[in-house]
A and B are shown apart, each in its own frame.
Chain A
Amino acid sequence: MLAVAACVSAPEAVAPIDRDSLRELRWVAPGADAVAALTTRPVACAAKDAAGKESRSELDWQRERGRLAFESPALLGGAAARMGLSCASCHLNGRGNVNFFVEGVSGAPGTADVTSSLFSKVRGNGTFDPVPIPDLAARDGTQIRDRKSAAFREKVRGLIVEEFDGQPPPPDVFEAVLVYLDSLDVAHCADPSARTALEPFDDYGAAFSAMTAMVTQKGRPDAVLFYSRAARERLERLHERFAGRGDVPAQLEALSASLAQAATARDGGMPTVAIAEFSALAVALLNEAPKSLYTPEVLRAALEKQPPR
């Protein structure tokens, strides 16, 4: 398996992609290096799991659940969620996004009008006034310092419910988001300016973590539903980048259906078949990853066939 994964072949004939087939293209600025924007991220500067432990602590899991929520459109509502945006679309790995651009919301790339009526029913101020997207890990005094404070809680609640028309999140989800945000600090990074490659197993791992959260939140239907949405959306990201790659798309669709069923099952249990499907998927991803749109050369070839915007 490892040998197959290591064998990066030359790009095969790839299908053209557009903003419907790869949603992330919807917010990549015109003129940006789209390949770099879609295959790399600013390095994450979150607190790491406790070193040397065999398993994660509850705080570690809570932070992970917060990250999943932060990176899921399910946390938002209205036009943003419909577009596929999450908090992480602007704040990749909790940082900024210099390539972010949405027509009507952004001025220069990397800016957003947070008082726009396009995303909010209540925050619109009738003025186009985009501001630079801040790095949430920058503890430079320009943001609320105490992320355990009531003021910070209210700020985050307002962002979700008012600025982006989201539903009030389940309590576990909201608390987890706060823990995640509190973990962000450039002090955790040796080189905060570094970028890391996006790999298929980032999304696979996130989907798995979300599925685990469905299990651990058993008995809390709202939270189970939320994490099932987060898990399925990560599968969708894989689906977008593995389109036409063997059985992977069908496997992803089947797994998504299993997770949807699990979320609505009265006992809240995770069907064994879903877990088996998840394990089988890993093998298929390993085999097909070099030909997927996670691979810069393959993505570049597909982008060159992209219809004009």
Chain B
Amino acid sequence: MKIRDLMLIAVSAAALVATPALAAGGGGGGGGGGPSASSSRIDPVKRYQQGADLLKAGNYKQAEKAFDDVLDVAAKDANTNYMMGLTQIGQQDFNSARKYFRNAVKYDGNNATARGWLGAVEAKQGDAGKAAEQKTALEAMKVKCAAACAEAKFIDAAIAQIDAAVANPAGPMLLSGEMTRLASATDGNAAYLTASGLINEGRYEDALGSLRQAGYALGPHPDVLTYQGFANRKLHNYDVAVSYYSAALALEPNHRGANEYLGEYYVETGQMGLAKAQLVKLDGICKFGCEEAEELRRWIAGAKS
């Protein structure tokens, strides 16, 4: 379009102003691919990956600093707590390792690898009863998984790890084998994309498995956390879903998806006032409109009708 066309548009605009039918009663005007690129204030994803690289290189002190920075903004992130546990294993500080692995299990009870490490450390410290609790939990996961889920091999490895520690508590506890599980951001993006497809197919349990891999590789990423919330919501794990949405919004308060899905949760649970508040927030975030706001608007309208 050239300047001549612009002038024609300006003339047309003037004509619109002069058209009574258009101006009447107007009442005046006035008055957001793969997810690895993060936009949070300290980039927890970038810092997490720095920590993972340092851990791979055996630089446990610096890795600990990196993960500590991440925990400053995402204290309840299971993967970061797990990574912190590994840095403590690297430094042979088993008390601290136990604390972080316990946190990892607390915030994600389905993290088989964290359960394996926790049980192994507990066995090493002579607490066979606690180690047995982890093994029992893993065996329950195995039954539920029925050897077909993506986590099956990790569950088996975790059980074997506990058994070995119980059999030989005085044995060395090193990180060498664990390093092979440290994934790259590329792996994380791929896992996230896989999860996105699985969610569209309604395969929410499988999606959660892929999202766990994505979170493990990428760290606390708002996109991953949001989808973890979404998949849990679809499985009617509402409290878990809200905790993930909250974690995503703590990292990125204006995250469109997390705000939309939290609003949908409110609609789903009949909390219409809160749902409308989410829509107001989204309309403020999306100054030029966005699909997230329109979808939530449709949910709210649908609930009314």
Interface residues of A (CB under 8 A from B): 2, 5, 18-20, 23, 26-27, 73-74, 77-79, 81-84, 102-104, 116-121, 124, 165, 167, 199, 201-202, 204-205, 208, 212, 215, 228-229, 232-233, 235-236, 239, 252-258, 260-262, 265, 267, 269-279, 282, 286, 307, 309
Contact = CB atoms under 8 A, between A and B. Distances in A.
B197 A239 contact: no
Interface of B: 1-3, 5-6, 9-10, 12-14, 16-17, 21-34, 37, 39, 189-190, 193, 196-198, 200-202, 256-257, 283, 287-292, 294-295, 298
Contacts of B190: 104
B28 A271 contact: yes
A201 B16 contact: no
A265 B27 contact: yes
16 contacts: A23-B32, A103-B189, A117-B196, A117-B197, A120-B200, A121-B201, A124-B197, A124-B201, A212-B12, A235-B288, A255-B29, A256-B287, A262-B26, A270-B22, A272-B26, A274-B26
A278 B10 CA distance: 8
B3 A201 contact: yes
A212 to B, nearest CB: 7
B291 A82 contact: yes
Contacts of A271: 23, 26-29
Say whether chain B's binding surface is mostly helix, strand, loop, or mixed.
helix
Contact of A117 (B16, B32, B200, B289): B200
Contact of B1 (A201, A235, A265, A273): A201
A271 to B, nearest CB: 3
A233 B291 CA distance: 11
Given A20-B39, A215-B22, A254 B197 contact: no
B128 to A, nearest CB: 45
Given A120-B200, A258-B31, 19 more contacts: A19-B33, A20-B32, A79-B196, A82-B292, A116-B197, A118-B193, A118-B196, A124-B197, A165-B200, A201-B3, A208-B13, A229-B289, A252-B288, A254-B29, A256-B287, A261-B29, A265-B27, A269-B23, A279-B10
